[in-house]
Amino acid sequence: MSLSISITLNGHPHEIALDDPRVTLLDLLRERLDLTGTKKGCDRGQCGACTVLVDGRRINSCLSLAASLDGAEITTIEGLADGDVLHPVQAAFIENDALQCGYCTPGQIMSAVGLIAEGHAGDDPERVRELMSGNICRCGAYHGIVEAVLEAQKTMAQDKGRAAA
pLDDT band at 136 (very low <50, low <70, confident <90, very high): very high
- Map residue 44 onto helix, strand or coil: coil
How much is the pLDDT for 162? 82
State how far the Cα of 103 lies from the Cα of 109, in Å rounded to an integer.
11
Give me the amino acid identity at 38: T
Does 120 have pLDDT greater than 90? no
Question: In the predicted model, is pLDDT for residue 60 greater than 80?
Answer: yes
Res 85 pLDDT > 90: yes
Check whether residue 95 and residue 75 sit in a common domain.
no
Residue 19 pLDDT exceeds 80: yes
Do 99 and 72 lie in one domain? The reply is: no
For residue 153, what pLDDT band results from cuts at 50, 70 and 90? very high
pLDDT at 164: 82
Give the residue numbers spanning the domain of 107.
88-164
- Give the pLDDT mean for 126-151: 94
Asked if residues 88 and 153 have their Cβ atoms less than 8 Å apart, the reply is: no
Interacting residues of 56 by C-beta distance below 8 A, sequence separation 6+: 73, 114, 117
pLDDT reported for residue 1: 67
Pairwise CA distance, residues 12 & 157, whole Å: 26
Q: What is the pLDDT of residue 41?
A: 93
Cβ-count burial 111-133 (b if 16+ within 10 Å, e if not): bbbbbbeeeebeeeeeebeebbe
Q: Give the end of a domain, one of 19, 47, 79.
A: 79
**Same domain as 75, residue 92:** no
Order of strands, edge to edge, in the sheet holding 12-18?
A: 12-18, 3-9, 73-75, 51-54, 57-60
What average pLDDT does the chain have?
94
The domain boundary residue, chosen from 79, 112, 136: 79
Q: Are residues 72 and 96 in the same domain?
A: no
pLDDT at position 9:
98
Domain count, the chain: 2
